[in-house]
Structure formats: C-alpha cells, structure tokens
Amino acid sequence: MTNNKKLSNPEKFFATMKYRDVEKIRKRSAFINLMALIFMFILTLLALGIAFISTMKPTPVIAFDSVGKRMTFDGRDIVNDETTYVRVHRFINDFVEKFEGVSPDIEEDLKVAYNMLTPKFRQILLDKSVHLEKIKFWKNKNFKTDFRLIKLKIVEGSFKVGSTLTIEGYGKMLFKNAVDYADEGVRKEDFVYFSALLVVTPVSLDLSPDGLFIEFYKAKSLNDFRSLRAYLLEHEKEYLLDDGENK
C-alpha cells in the first residue's frame, strides 16, 4: 500500500461525515459567539442608559418643616430648583423685621421668625433663651417697628437647591406707636447691619415659600447712618456703601 492509494468507498463516506461534523460545529460556534456579542452589546447599551437616567435625575434634597422634622424632596416634589435674588430680599426683610423688631404681638412674630431658622440654629437660640426678656418687656405694648431693607449683597454661594448663600446688608428700623392716637408718626429710626448664612431648599408653601432657611445670623443696631458707616469702614465692609455714601 502507498500513500497515493485512493480511498475506498467506506473511507470516503466517513471522511465526508467528519468534514460535515466539523463544519457544523464551526458554524454553531460562530453563531453562538455572534449571539453572545449581540447580547453583550445590548447589555452595555442598557447599562449606559440606566447610568444616563441616574445622572439626569435630580439629587434628593433634605430640608426641615416648621417643627424641625427632616423632609426629603426628589425632583417630582420640587416646584423650583433654585431661589432668586427677589426671594432672598423678601425673606431676609421679613425675618429681620420679626426677629429684631418689636410689636404687641412680639411672641407670635418671633415664632414666625424662629420657623425661618434651621432646627439646629433654632434650638441653640431656644436653649439660650435669647428673646425671653424681650418678649416680657414688649408684649402687648402699644409700640411696633417696621424694617426697610436698603442694601443686600450676595457674598458667595448659589441660588440652586441644596446650596448655601452668604449674605450681608443693612436697613432702617422705624419705631412708632402700634395705634397712633396722637398722629406722631415715626418716633425713632435705627440702622441694622446683618450677615447671615442661608440654606437653599425646595420652594414649598407648607415649608418655605421662598425656599430658604437661616443657618447662621448676626446683627448690630446703630443709632444713625454715620455710626453705621463708621462700623462698616472699621470692619472693612465699605463695599456695602454706595460711592455717595462713602464720602
């Protein structure tokens, strides 16, 4: 027998069968590999889609209700995702008037002001009984104050929900009778300088119509504008003064 000897019919049959089996296995393997690649591609697209949706979803924001209970807002609960300069102006004007001022209803005014604070800051003031003597002295007296914000500056921060705002400013506190029988009008005027750290939260009629809470606040009353100007210049806050006022 030699290597060139032709294969017999049975040998040809089995050789053909082997070739067909190999081709069948090769095609099957190629099909499985192709399907695996398609599946992995679809899975990758799905994962990327989920990741994209997650990044587009607003980050939940934690705020506080009027009694200090933590409340979480997601994107569906947020009326506005940022506050505005006008809201900050109105908010701090109302706060200073009720927090620094007086009226026959001073106890109720201070309750409103305290609800504009974060729970932590509110608890600090309550534990220190900051306004106890003030309430005893002015409650039911025929005297009230009105605050008019003159200058407000956003020192740093963002209007976006979840951010903080550092603000400074000053205004005029007007003292007069709650019921002016003698038509005396304004009896006294003081200037109030203030600085505050605000926390920006979702705008909510039940929580905060302006979407703001106060984390830190300090103020100083001065008898007249000259005293105010001296105080601002002394503390290097001349940027709060207009050019005409700074002369």
What whole-number distance in Å separates Cα of residue 148 and Cα of residue 132? 25
Listed range (64-68, 126-130, 154-158, 173-177) with the worst mean pLDDT? 64-68
Name the CATH code of domain 61-240 (choices 3.10.450.230, 3.40.190.10, 3.30.1780.10, 3.40.50.300): 3.10.450.230
pLDDT of residue 83: 85
Measured at the alpha carbon of residue 21, what is the angle toward residues 18 and 25, in degrees to the nearest 5?
Answer: 140
What whole-number distance in Å separates Cα of residue 237 and Cα of residue 50? 50
pLDDT band at 172 (very low <50, low <70, confident <90, very high): very high
pLDDT band at 17 (very low <50, low <70, confident <90, very high): low
More confident of the two residues 94 and 24: 94
How many whole angstroms from its chain centre is CA 88? 12
How many whole angstroms from its chain centre is CA 67? 19
Which tokens belong to 126?
């309550």
Q: Which residues, in sequence order, are CB contacts of 48 under 8 Å at separation 6+?
A: none
What whole-number distance in Å separates Cα of residue 146 and Cα of residue 174? 5
pLDDT band at 3 (very low <50, low <70, confident <90, very high): very low
More confident of the two residues 16 and 154: 154
Listed range (29-43, 80-94, 157-171, 210-224) with the worst mean pLDDT? 29-43
Percentage of the chain exceeding pLDDT 70 = 75
- Summarised one tens digit per residue, pLDDT across range 90-129 is 999 999 999 999 999 999 999 999 999 999 999 999 999 9
Q: If DSSP states are collapsed to H, E and C, what string results for 147-168?
A: EEEEEEEEEEECCECCCEEEEE
pLDDT at 157 over 80: yes
pLDDT of residue 37: 81
Mean pLDDT of the chain: 81
The pTM of this model reads 0.66
pLDDT band at 152 (very low <50, low <70, confident <90, very high): very high
More confident of the two residues 36 and 84: 84
pLDDT of residue 79: 52
More confident of the two residues 65 and 222: 222
pLDDT band at 57 (very low <50, low <70, confident <90, very high): low
What whole-number distance in Å separates Cα of residue 160 and Cα of residue 32? 51
Percentage of the chain exceeding pLDDT 90 = 50
pLDDT at 67 over 80: no
pLDDT of residue 208: 77
The count of residues in the chain is: 247
Which tokens belong to 132?
């106890």
- Cα–Cα distances in angstroms (integers) from residue 241 to residues 79, 83, 113, 234, in the given order: 36, 25, 27, 13
What whole-number distance in Å separates Cα of residue 220 and Cα of residue 110? 18
Domain boundaries, the chain: 1-57, 61-240
